[in-house]
A and B are shown apart, each in its own frame.
Chain A
Amino acid sequence: MSAWMLGVMLGLGLGLCFQRMGWDEPRRVRAALAGRDRMLLRVLGTALFGGMMLVAGLGWLAVLDVDHLEVPPLDGGVVLGALMMGAAMGAVGYTPGSLLAALGGGRILPALSALGGAVAGAWCVQAIPGLIPALKGLFPPLEGTVFRTTLTAPILPALSALGGAVAGAWCVQAIPGLIPALKGLFPPLEGTVFRTTLTAPWLLPGGFWMHGAVGLALLLVLLCAVRSRPSVQEEMLPAAARTAEENAQQPPTPEDTAAETLVAALPQEEPLTLDTVPAELPEKVREALTEEAPDAEEASSEEENEEKSKD
């Protein structure tokens, strides 16, 4: 299959997926990042951890060629770029993918503006010669083994040697023959326990199985921990108004309605459901209303005085 064809198929699937997820709405992306919309985080977590399991399974079955995996470098460019991308995502609610989805989802003008900015940004970074190497060179790429714990070499040689010398000397003197007896209970373990490198894709030892198991564990934790909650959009939108046909089929009763809903049943009229959304008035309006009240009182008291004087 040609790369073009594969790209088009992936694009169609991703566009559909982003639209159904609501990822094409910048407001929802911002709400998800601010922690107000857990539904979107749940979907993305499922994609991430489910993908881990899938990669592990396909790698184990040799369907996925390990050479197709890419290990991005960890240098100044990645750190700075990731921070910039994150800040832009949180501020405007677009990602490179969601921006294109927004273009097809109906919000054309803001999406076109963001697309223009995105193309200009991508072009500027490439057009300024030496910018990327200079930023990447802010600190050299980390390489090699980051963390390694083996059973054949001590982590803190001096402390281990000191502790071992003291304990060994005491044990040998106190209970002769104890240490060899204890050591003989099971053969010594050897090899690397945990190894994380910046050049190999598999973060954990144990290869595909451990990777898939971690993905499964994280997925289960996500599904248990992040319970479904109505999204911001659902919370903010009032309940849909009932149509006349719906009312005719099944008239609403006061028990069916929420606390903020009022059912108006007028004689010889169809029952009406009214949503009373509590609105907070601006300060100026409130002040004006509170100022009017004493004036009204004064006016009414003046009228009463006039009536009394007439009497």
Chain B
Amino acid sequence: MKHTKAWGAFLGLLFVLSMVAAAPLRLSAAYEAVGLMMPGGTGELPRLALGAAAALPVGAFLGALPGLIRQRKSGAKRASAGWKPCAAAFTGGFVLLAGAGLAGGDLGYFAMGGAVAGTLSGWAALVLMLGAGMAAARLRGRRDQT
């Protein structure tokens, strides 16, 4: 990856821009909003998070477009995922957003909304998250090796 510092600074700028304009961006609120959209759901829609969540795949697609075009031109095909990775992804997604619902925010909210502003709870949540993530990633790495 080229220009690592520039992309890092751009990422920080986006989250700070969100704070300047409205509030820290909490993407997990967009997932929780599905409950609000269902019949009987009450409460105000998190418009900032919903707008960001809707546009995020579009931005990623635009970023991946040159690579996808090259891939199509070369005729290379990506291997389709089996049912096991999909089942693991479903379980992981469930636990991820259940955790985000309990904590009241996701990684971006605690890191780029809390820790950036110098809140002790933001740093504590970030350290806990990264600690658990490192342990789980190392365990999975060992299991994959064996």
Contacts and interface: CB of A to CB of B under 8 A. Distances in A.
Interface of A: 1-22, 24, 26, 30-31, 33-36, 39, 42-48, 50-52, 54-55, 58, 63-65, 68-74, 77-97, 99-107, 109-111, 113-127, 132, 135-136, 146, 196-198, 201-204, 211, 223, 228, 231
Contact of A72 (B17, B105, B136): B105
Interface of B: 1, 4-5, 7-25, 27-28, 30-32, 34-35, 47-64, 68, 78, 80-81, 85-126, 128-141
Contacts of B102: 77-78, 80-81, 84, 125, 132, 135-136
B133 to A, nearest CB: 4
Contacts, number: 460
Contact of A104 (B14, B61, B120, B126): B61
A10 B52 contact: yes
Nearest to A99: B93
13 contacts: A6-B48, A7-B51, A7-B52, A12-B62, A44-B111, A68-B20, A69-B119, A86-B135, A88-B136, A89-B132, A95-B108, A106-B68, A121-B94
B4 A46 contact: yes
Given A14-B59, A47-B12, A103-B57, A197 B120 contact: yes
Nearest to A45: B8
Given A6-B18, A70-B23, A103-B57, A17 B7 contact: yes
Contact of A54 (B12, B47, B132): B12
Contacts of B78: 106
Nearest to B88: A92
B55 A11 contact: yes
A114 B21 contact: no
B28 A122 contact: yes
Chain A interface SS verdict (over half): helix
Given A17-B11, A34-B141, A117-B94, A78 B86 contact: no
Given A8-B52, A74-B124, A106-B68, A20 B35 contact: no
A87 B118 contact: no
Interface residue SS majority, chain B: helix
Given A70-B113, A118-B94, A118-B96, A87 B132 contact: yes
Contacts of A115: 93
Given A43-B4, A86-B129, A103-B60, 20 more contacts: A7-B48, A10-B51, A11-B52, A11-B56, A15-B63, A20-B7, A43-B5, A48-B112, A63-B20, A68-B23, A69-B117, A83-B99, A86-B132, A91-B140, A101-B57, A104-B62, A110-B89, A114-B89, A120-B97, A121-B98
A88 B133 CA distance: 7
Contacts of B106: 85, 95-97
Contacts of B17: 10
B60 A101 contact: yes
Contacts of A64: 16, 19-20
Given A86-B133, A89-B96, A202-B118, A10 B57 contact: no
A28 B127 CA distance: 20
Contacts of A123: 32, 34-35
Q: Nearest 9 CB-CB pairs, A to B?
A: A15-B59, A7-B51, A81-B103, A46-B8, A90-B136, A86-B132, A11-B55, A92-B92, A84-B99
A43 B2 CA distance: 11
